[in-house]
């Protein structure tokens, strides 16, 4: 499984755009990049997933450069409720029973 | 929206006691998981379960742990003789139905406190 590296913490203010970058230098050809969000005392929640270029949904955008060795989760106009830990994971799309391995994640604090 | 449900939400037990944590995965899912998270630490994989057997387990999942899918809907994690260091949030997750995108759906967790 590809190892991921992300900042331990980030701070932002309400209404700003937040970009969290994840490095995954040894990503494999069949690996996808997935981001999860976790609020305190809750289970992780899927945010977005992509393979290459750009993916956008109602919550976030995911930018993946051509070499796929990194990816950036973009949260537009964050609010206080976006304060959470954000995890970048890399692995096969379905991969049968393949487990997801969580790193330490990025602790995002949004301030008023 | 379908969801993974877990019970109990919080259990307090004495060291050495047996604990069973219960989960009802999303009904058409095929792959089931237990993760745990010690307070302030990262989410750790414990075990994956498919086709009525364990498909993979971590080094944390020793002989004190077992999983079972007794009736086609519930998925349980049993800790035979709890230790203080078993205190953690335990998350059940499932994935893989007709539209398997690889997304893991997590429950809200069961907080286990071992005294």
Kindly tell me if the per-residue pLDDT of B99 is higher than 70: no
Of the listed ranges A40-54, A62-76, A87-101, B5-19, the least confidently predicted one is A87-101
CB contacts, 8 Å: B109 with chain A: 41-43
pLDDT at B71: 85
How far is it, in rounded angstroms, from Cα B45 to Cα B63?
Answer: 16
Shortest Cα distance, chain A CAs vs residue B70, angstroms: 19
How far is it, in rounded angstroms, from Cα B73 to Cα B83?
Answer: 28
- Strand, coil or helix: what is B86? helix
Kindly tell me if the per-residue pLDDT of B101 is higher than 90: no
Kindly tell me if the per-residue pLDDT of B97 is higher than 80: no
Q: Which of the four pLDDT bands, split at 50, 70 and 90, describes residue A94? A: low
CB contacts, 8 Å: A45 with chain B: 106
What tokens appear for B11 in the block? 């259990």
Q: Would you give the DSSP letter of residue A5?
A: B
CB contact under 8 A, A38 and B43: yes
pLDDT at B72: 79
Interface contacts A/B by beta carbons within 8 Å: 63
Average pLDDT over residues A31-50: 93
Q: B32 CB contacts (<8 Å, ≥6 apart)?
A: B23, B25, B48, B49, B50, B67, B69, B75, B92, B93, B94
Q: How far is CA B20 from CA A66, B23, B34, in A?
A: 47, 10, 13
Residue of A84, A99, A104 to mutate, testing the B interface (most B Cβ within 10 Å of its Cβ): A99
Of B44, B50, B105, the CB nearest to A97: B50
């Amino acid at each position: 499984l590809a190892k991921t590296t992300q900042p331990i913490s980030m701070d932002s203010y309400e209404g700003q755009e937040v970009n969290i970058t994840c490095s995954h230098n040894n990503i494999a050809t069949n690996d996808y990049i997935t981001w999860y969000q976790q609020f305190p005392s809750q289970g992780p929640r899927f945010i977005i997933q992509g393979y290459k270029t750009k993916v956008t949904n109602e919550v976030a955008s995911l930018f993946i450069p051509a070499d796929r060795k990194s990816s950036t989760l973009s949260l537009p106009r964050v609010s206080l409720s976006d304060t959470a830990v954000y995890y970048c994971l890399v692995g096969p799309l379905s991969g049968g029973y393949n487990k997801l391995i969580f790193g330490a994640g990025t602790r995002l604090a949004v301030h008023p | 929206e379908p969801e993974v449900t877990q019970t109990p939400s919080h259990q307090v037990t004495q060291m050495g006691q047996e604990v069973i944590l219960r989960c009802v995965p999303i009904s058409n899912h095929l792959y089931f998981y237990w993760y745990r998270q010690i307070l302030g630490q990262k989410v750790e994989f414990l075990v994956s379960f498919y086709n009525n057997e364990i498909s993979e387990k971590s080094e944390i999942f020793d002989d004190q742990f077992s999983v079972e899918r007794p009736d086609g809907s519930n998925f349980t994690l049993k800790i035979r003789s709890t230790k203080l260091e078993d205190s953690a949030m335990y998350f059940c997750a499932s994935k893989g139905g007709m539209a398997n995108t690889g997304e893991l759906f997590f429950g809200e967790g069961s907080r286990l406190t071992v005294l």
